[in-house]
Structure 1
């Protein structure tokens, strides 16, 4: 793995654990045994540019994982169920789901930095597009599918935060129970 990729991986883990404000450049440099010159060589604009690279890396990993799951299952309900079960299993075995959420970063930085806000927005848009496409393939109108996709994204992100703060997978299990009702509701066609 090259130095830039290692910096992104180390910073991504630290940002997810401690938030953007809670991690200083010195900590990132020390964790990877990087020089300050090396950091600024790869990220001339410093910590914020590194954060954006981390968000793009997270986006790629998350959307690839979601796309893989949604391609393996014939319906939105089956795909979403598989995805939520994976999140529950991750939480119950590791005690966290940090690889699937970046809300702490958004809450810290989205109002302070337009580039960071855009990077976060792009990830949510990609996630919603995956859900929307599967819902349309299930025969739901694009307008209704868009509304459901937004609701799914918001519900899952909120449930992940609740799991982390309450130290229980119960919020994801509740979404898993409610999801079939939502998806089988007679949406306007």
Structure 2
């Protein structure tokens, strides 16, 4: 295993575990075991330890989800249809909760925002990046800058809430209900 491979395997395992178990429920030994990387490589690639690893995991999730949102919004010139496509794709992940990947950073944000300023900032930047994608699509569709900005934040907050409800219910229905309300929310 090369150093680059070890780094990617550690980051991939950490990202998945943080998403499923949270920051405090995930130990470094578990990350090493799941990644298959030598323990020394964790500290070589992530000298800041668990916090650095979590920040990089949040950044990975931020980019992954930003791209997913962008891809779905590009499906249609109508922002409501694009947002609905993203919600429908996201809702498909709730058929088997063990296979959930690429979900937003709500668990990490809730656990760490009062204890780690660095992690709080990373989560905040992720939320802002996702809201911005919605905002830009709405502006391209003729919404005013202020309306698009507000709607982007509201949509992102609804999605985060829908994810929490879907996780606790082990059912995608909350996300599908949000999807059905998007056209009414975006009426000019």
Q: Tell me the residue number matched to 1:91.
A: 94
The structural deviation recorded for 1:91 is 1.8
1:113 and 2:116 matched: yes
Q: Tell me the residue number matched to 1:153.
A: 156
- 2-side partners of 1:178 and 1:138: how far apart? 18
The structural deviation recorded for 1:99 is 1.8
1:128 pairs with one of 114, 118, 131: 131
Moved over 6 A (4+): none
1:172 pairs with one of 151, 154, 175: 175
1:77 pairs with one of 68, 76, 80: 80
1:14 and 2:31 matched: no
The structural deviation recorded for 1:65 is 1.2
The structural deviation recorded for 1:141 is 0.6
Q: Is the 8 A contact 1:97 1:164 kept in 2?
A: no
TM-score, scaled to structure 1: 0.92
Q: Tell me the residue number matched to 1:53.
A: 56
The structural deviation recorded for 1:101 is 2.1
1:33 and 2:45 matched: no
TM-score, scaled to structure 2: 0.92
Q: Which runs of 5+ in 2 are unaligned?
A: none
Q: Tell me the residue number matched to 1:2.
A: 5
- 1:6-57, CA deviations, whole angstroms, 9 ceiling, x for partnerless residues? 1000111111111110111111122223333211110111111011111111
- 2-side partners of 1:34 and 1:98: how far apart? 21
Task: Give the total of aligned pairs.
Answer: 184
- 2-side partners of 1:91 and 1:179: how far apart? 20
- 1:118-158, CA deviations, whole angstroms, 9 ceiling, x for partnerless residues? 11111111111110011111111110111111100000000
- 2-side partners of 1:121 and 1:177: how far apart? 27
